[in-house]
Amino acid sequence: MAPRCWRWWHWSVWPRTRPPPARSTLSFRQHFSTQEKTPQICVVGSGPAGFYTAQHLLKHHTQARVDIYEKQLVPFGLVRFGVAPDHPEVKTAHSDRCAFWGNVEVGRDVTVPELREAYHAVVLSYGAEDHQALDIPGEELPGVFSARAFVGWYNGLPENQELAPDLSCDTAVILGQGNVALDVARILLTPPEHLERTDITKAALGVLRQSQVKTVWIVGRRGPLQVAFTIKELREMIQLPGTRPILDPEDFLGLQDRIKEMPRPRKRLTELLLQTATEKPRVEEAARLASASRAWGLRFFRSPQQVLPSPDGRRVAGIRLAVTRLEGVGEATRAVPTGDVEDLPCGLVLSSIGYKSHPIDPSVPFDLKLGVIPNMEGRVVDVPGLYCSGWVKRGPTGVIGTTMNDSFLTGQMLLQDLKAGLLPSGPRPGSVAIQALLSSRGVRPVSFSDWEKLDAEEVARGQGSGKSREKLVDPQEMLRLLGH
């Protein structure tokens, strides 16, 4: 039996393991009546959505038991595999009524109907694991990567460890102007010695040390008022050591007059962009910029049209951008092509135009257009007892705080339904039935204490080189370390 514990984590300080509850000391009658009052709930996915939904359920129902199934061998979703290594997060909590079952891919190892049979309620929190395709010619050329794969590569996601990006070119282009685009630009341009103490993988750091990339263009199809990144991330770019920004003052003409009407976050962001683009830096800053050997720039009103091949057709040599203008007002502002194009030479293209969820099981409704499970505040439409939270519920935008709030709301809806008698009554076998099924299929889940062993190993391996941890990236090696 896996230890019933979970904690939301601190990157460097880890709480002690709690022992599993002494369930065997209950008499049969006690056990039966406990089970009757014990809602068995299952959560699919151990990212922020899964953990925060579980946290809400455990906090507001003193009997509920929650099992979290996760396809990776390790928990935490994008907090481990997405958040940039130079952005550590800090949060901790734990409960002995929650178990983690890693190495279990729902939809492959066990189906959603099987989970629904075993539990009173199932919450789908499996995130958005695919990337939005560019759908332009040349997208498949070597040297073109999704930001999703690139991020997975430097963050140790096992499936992206073979990526081997060639950074021998001078110029890289990132398509999209969201926070992921800035993360990727920052990692490409940060002096490698500044990444040495983070948990970036050894292999990625080795490649970044050899990088010849000097200029990174971050390309948006709309204008400076529509950028999707936030001020903290922009400020980090502006202050990046050894790097200078390239912003064309012409792109910002007339914006000063419009700043007054903007909502505060957009106002502050635009002010910083304007200041960087148009104001003369102070002496010290000017000296820093003059000595910078690397640069990043924002290109606006450019929509990707075609990836251009090298003369031998074997890799990317540039990108053709359609020049755009804006139509419409407010949120509805759209970029429409003017008919002009611009070719931008580059040796690396990273497409950062968003993540995408996929359907998990034919029995679960899925809106292919919006890329979400249709739901009403987390209740999956037309499927009683099935819920969703996080990016698969509302689409691939929002920070951990946003995901936390919508996960709490889903938890609240589930508990309301439970109280109203809308969930199946009578005991449900929960993980006992699912473990039997998995075992018959040759699937061996890993527990939270298994993860703690892997965690200890990662921390120990990092210590030698002064890193917070050296992530294990090979699932076979991880299973060997666990004696599986």
Within residues 197-256, the interface with ligand NAP by CB under 6 A covers 220-222, 226, 228, 233
Residue type, 422: L
What is the secondary structure of 356-417 as a DSSP string?
Answer: E-----TTS--BTTTTB--EETTEETT-TTEEE-THHHH-S---HHHHHHHHHHHHHHHHHH
Return the closest-CA partner of residue 358 out of 320, 391, 384. 391
- List the one residue from 86, 96, 105, 367 that touches ligand FAD (CB under 6 A): 105
Binds 105: which of ligand FAD, ligand NAP, none (CB < 5-8 Å by kind): ligand FAD
Beta bridge partners of 295: 215, 244
Query: CA distances (Å), 171 to each of 167, 305, 368, 471, in order?
Result: 9, 18, 35, 29
Identify which of residues 110 and 134 has a Cβ nearer to ligand FAD in the complex. Answer: 110
What's the chain's length in residues? 484
- Classified as helix, coil or strand, 101 is strand
- Contact between 176 and ligand NAP by CB under 6 A: the answer reads yes
Where are any strands of DSSP class E within 12-158? 40-44, 65-69, 94-95, 98-101, 121-124, 130-131, 144-146
Q: Taking CB within 5 to 8 Å according to partner kind, which of ligand FAD, ligand NAP, none is near residue 129?
A: ligand FAD
Contacted by 115, from ligand NAP, ligand FAD, none: CB < 5 to 8 Å by type:
none
Helices (H), 46-201: 48-60, 78-81, 112-118, 147-154, 179-189
The answer to whether 149 and 254 have CB atoms below 8 angstroms apart is: no
Site string for ligand FAD, 114-133 (x = CB under 6 A): -----------xxx-x----
CB of 51 to ligand FAD, least distance (A): 8
In the complex, minimum distance from the CB of residue 324 to ligand NAP, in angstroms, rounded to a whole number: 9
378 binds, among ligand NAP, ligand FAD, none (CB under 5 to 8 A by kind): none
CA atoms of 43 and 45, how far apart (whole Å): 6
Residues 109-138 that bind ligand NAP (CB under 6 A): 132
* Pair type for strands 348-351 and 294-299: unpaired
Does 234 bind ligand FAD (CB under 6 A)? Our answer is no
In contact, 163 and 153? CB cutoff 8 Å = yes
Q: Which amino acid is at 226?
A: Q
Residue 306 contacts which entry, ligand FAD, ligand NAP, none (Cβ below 5-8 A, type-dependent): none
Q: Ramachandran region of residue 382, left (φ > 0), alpha (ψ -120 to 50) or beta?
A: left
Asked if residue 106 binds ligand FAD (CB under 6 A), the reply is: yes
* Shortest distance in whole angstroms from residue 277 CB to ligand NAP: 18
Which of residues 333 and 465 has its CB atom nearest to ligand NAP in the complex? Answer: 333
Residue 391 binds to ligand FAD (criterion: CB under 6 A): yes
Give the contact letters, 418-457, x = binds to ligand NAP (CB under 6 A), - = no.
Answer: ----------------------------------------
Ramachandran area for residue 187 (φ above 0: left; ψ -120 to 50: alpha; else beta) = alpha
Angle between the N-to-C axes of helices 231-238 and 179-189, in degrees from 0 to 180, rounded to the nearest 10: 20
Q: 177 contacts which partner out of ligand FAD, ligand NAP, none, CB within 5 to 8 A by kind?
A: ligand NAP
Q: Is 45 in the site for ligand FAD (CB under 6 A)?
A: yes
Whether the Cβ atoms of residue 224 and residue 300 lie closer than 8 Å to each other: yes
Q: Of ligand FAD, ligand NAP, none, which one does residue 222 interact with (CB within 5 to 8 Å by kind)?
A: ligand NAP
* 235 versus 258: smaller Cβ distance to ligand FAD: 235
When binding is defined by CB under 6 A, the residue of 44, 180, 277, 404 that contacts ligand NAP is 180
CA distance 156 to 239: 26
CB of 376 to ligand FAD, least distance (A): 18
Helices 264-278 and 231-238: crossing angle, nearest 10°? 20
Minimum distance from residue 347 beta carbon to ligand NAP (Å):
20
**Interior angle at CA 52, CA 20 and CA 418, nearest 5:** 80
Q: Compose the 49-88 pattern: x for residues touching ligand FAD by CB under 6 A, - for all others.
A: xx------------------xxxx----xx---xx---x-
Minimum distance from residue 159 beta carbon to ligand FAD (Å): 10
> What residues numbered 399-428 form the site for ligand FAD, per CB under 6 A?
399-400, 403
Nearest-angstrom CA–CA distance, 372 and 357: 7
Strand 144-146 relative to strand 130-131: parallel, antiparallel, unpaired?
Answer: unpaired
155 is a site residue for ligand NAP (CB under 6 A)? no
**Which residues are near ligand NAP by CB under 6 A?**
87, 132, 175-181, 183, 220-222, 226, 228, 233, 303-304, 352-355, 396-399
**Which residues are near ligand FAD by CB under 6 A?**
44-50, 69-72, 77-78, 82-83, 87, 105-107, 125-127, 129, 151, 180, 183, 355, 360, 390-391, 398-400, 403
